[in-house]
Amino acid sequence: MSQKPEDFFKNIISHSKEYGYIFQSSEIYDGLSAVYDYGQNGAELKKNIREYWWRAMVQMHENIVGIDAAIFMHPTTWKASGHVDAFNDPLIDNKDSKKRYRADVLIEEHVAKIEDKIEKEVEKAKKRFENFDEAMFRSTNARVVEYQNKINDINNRFKNAMNDGNLAEVKQIIVDCEIVDPVSGSRNWTDVRQFNLMFSTAMGSVDGEGSTIYLRPETAQGIFVNYLNVQKTGRMKIPFGIAQTGKAFRNEIVARQFIFRMREFEQMEMQFFCKPGTEKEWYEYWKDARLKWHHSLGLGKENYKFHDHVKLAFYANAASDIEFQFPFGFKELEGIHSRTDYDLKQHEQFSGKKLQYFDPEEGASYVPYVVETSVGLDRLFLSILSAAFKEEKLQDGETRVVLSLPPALAPIKAAVFPLVKKDGLPELAEKIINQLKFDHIVTYDEKDAVGRRYRRQDAIGTPYCITVDHQSLEDGTVTVRHRDTMQQDRIKIEALNDFLNERVSMKSLLKQL
RNA sequence: GCGGAAGUAGCUCAAUUGGUAGAGCUCCAGCCUUCCAAGCUGGAGGUUGCGGGUUCGAGACCCGUCUUCCGCUCCA
């Protein structure tokens, strides 16, 4: 990576488009911001990544099962999870400083300032009088009462404005309070706008009250609401896990950096239910297991690191991210969170259903604690693509662009070429295709010089190219050319399936875990 | 969302001060047959992102809009 990181990233983006990995959504209509489509090769790579994750989690763990919960969920789900209230912020910009603020925070800070003034009055009075009756002072002192009235007035107005969804009134409060931007010191504000994290739509053919449905902003809640169904029907014993992959939707304020932050994205999550008090052990176990999984891809251990959260979300008692060195720096790839019993307790409360587990060893019931692993499939895709993308300078001065994808994840496992388009070589190549296609996705190419065809496959990331030449007709062998080394082996045609199976299967990856 | 920059063929880019939209590569058909891309012949492909405006005339100037990039801002 001798060039500037931005250029490197740009090259990856244009390479992705040129070779059928990623297209911008609705491109012929000028595109849709922060939404991307996966092309013929991207869909394969993505599917393979998903499959490797699924096998590592579900197939390799007897106590983990997978589900596929719907994207639509009962609206109360999102009240219980906290998404409805916690991600509904009124935002305002200062036109001079270009800074954005949460309008409610600005007003709260203003109120806090007035409260400080009251406290100062109280402190002063305390020093002045011997037998100081603080409660009396607060309720009678003219200045304090005036301040307090102001606070009550502001709070009432704000409460009403938010309840009515009256954003103009929220702005008016900021104007009336003469709140200034702490950076620019100006009162030059934009209108207040509502920020909603969740996309909403209407269920049923008739619009109206109560029919608002959200597109899920995370897959986790589909697991939590099904936890008891799975536990009972699968006769699962704690500790056990439920895995799920699927689309999630978030209205990000700023969605950028290609597929790193999209409005529609795919998560791969596993919620691990364990006995209260054991959650830290499992948290450490999963941190370790997940890092190992990433390392097994062979993209360089130095590209991964943990970032432990210091400031924890209200529901968590431990949290860490696995970060990857993207072309634009170390960024979050996967989160491992110890979520306590927060989610299940919330759903108990909102649904009125008991979500407890009877532990025969304890002889008692409890709400399990949860350790979550949550990885972004699209981010994982980008991490693999950016680590695999290489612009090589060869010894003879030529350059080549190669995607050194892990063979098990590569969209196309092998390409078959006739060295020349005559003498029966194409026919033999077709026969080989027909022999291999039952095991793997393979492709055929007879156009242009063979070296050129090798380069084309390098750019797609195909790990093996099989070339049929005149010797093949005589002794039934072909050359197999390796993508990364460009070395060739001569192999019997009958041995090709075994050769490929051994090298492109996920088994070798799974064995490293 | 704010500020800055950009948008011309699938890709990379041209097009004097406003005066007929071009090239290379790619792609397709054919020729050639050579194990590490760019031989030969022919061909396809553009309402210059979109919509208005100024002008005799706009790829170029003005306004709006969409998208992308960079920097802010936000992110359980």
| Domains of chain A and any CATH numbers | 1-72+216-392 (3.30.930.10), 394-510 (3.40.50.800)
Closest residue (Cα, C1') to B67: A30
pLDDT score recorded for residue A156: 85
For residues A60 and A236, is the Cβ–Cβ distance under 8 A?
no
Is there contact between A32 and strand B, defined as CB under 7 Å from any strand atom? yes
Length A357 CA → B26 C1' (Å): 62
Of A410, A346, A38, A76, the residue nearest A210 (C-alpha): A76
pLDDT score recorded for residue A122: 86
Closest nucleotide over all strands to A422 (CA to C1'): B33
Q: How far apart are CA A93 and CA A426, in angstroms?
A: 65
Burial A188-223 (b: 16+ CB within 10 A, else e): ebeebeeeebbeeeeeeeeeeeeeebbbbbbbbbbb
For residues A91 and A193, is the Cβ–Cβ distance under 8 A?
yes
Question: Which tokens in the block code for residue A509?
Answer: 């990856």
Model-level pTM?
Answer: 0.84
For residues A397 and A442, is the Cβ–Cβ distance under 8 A?
no
Chain B positions with a protein C-beta closer than 7 Å: 1-3, 7, 10-12, 27-29, 32-38, 49-50, 66-76
For residues A215 and A199, is the Cβ–Cβ distance under 8 A?
yes
Q: How far apart are CA A107 and CA A113, in angstroms?
A: 10
pLDDT score recorded for residue A195: 67
Rg (CA), chain A: 30
Q: What ipTM is given for this predicted complex?
A: 0.80
Of A9, A29, A26, the residue nearest A260 (C-alpha): A9
- Which chain A residues 291-330 have CB under 7 A to strand B? 313, 315-316, 319, 328
Of A259, A281, A282, the residue nearest A270 (C-alpha): A282
pLDDT score recorded for residue A180: 76
Question: Which tokens in the block code for residue A126?
Answer: 């305390």
pLDDT score recorded for residue A185: 66
Looking at the DSSP bridge assignments, the partners of residue A100 are A93
Which residues in chain A come in under a pLDDT of 50? 1-2
Of A422, A446, A418, A419, the residue nearest A432 (C-alpha): A418
Length A6 CA → B5 C1' (Å): 15
The DSSP annotation for A267-303 comes to EEEEEEEE-TT-HHHHHHHHHHHHHHHHHTT-S-GGG
pLDDT score recorded for residue A2: 41
Is there contact between A269 and strand B, defined as CB under 7 Å from any strand atom? no
For residues A351 and A340, is the Cβ–Cβ distance under 8 A?
no
Length A7 CA → B70 C1' (Å): 12
For residues A37 and A25, is the Cβ–Cβ distance under 8 A?
yes
Question: Which tokens in the block code for residue A402?
Answer: 């190669």
Q: Provide the sign of the torsion angle of the four alpha carbons A41, A46, A48, A49, taken in this order.
A: positive
DSSP A367: P
Length A41 CA → B68 C1' (Å): 23
Burial A15-35 (b: 16+ CB within 10 A, else e): bbeebbbbebbeeeeeeeebe
Length A406 CA → B30 C1' (Å): 39
pLDDT score recorded for residue A505: 93
pLDDT score recorded for residue A184: 63
Angle between helix A377-388 and A40-54 (nearest 10): 110
Is there contact between A429 and strand B, defined as CB under 7 Å from any strand atom? no
pLDDT score recorded for residue A199: 83
pLDDT score recorded for residue A336: 95
Is there contact between A421 and strand B, defined as CB under 7 Å from any strand atom? yes
Closest nucleotide over all strands to A10 (CA to C1'): B69
For residues A386 and A51, is the Cβ–Cβ distance under 8 A?
no
pLDDT score recorded for residue A246: 94
Length A30 CA → B57 C1' (Å): 29
Give, in degrees to the nearest 5, the angle at Cα A115 between A109 and A116: 90
Closest nucleotide over all strands to A423 (CA to C1'): B33
pLDDT digits (tens, 9 = 90+) for A108-141: 778 878 888 888 888 888 888 777 788 888 888 8
Closest nucleotide over all strands to A220 (CA to C1'): B76
pLDDT score recorded for residue A161: 77
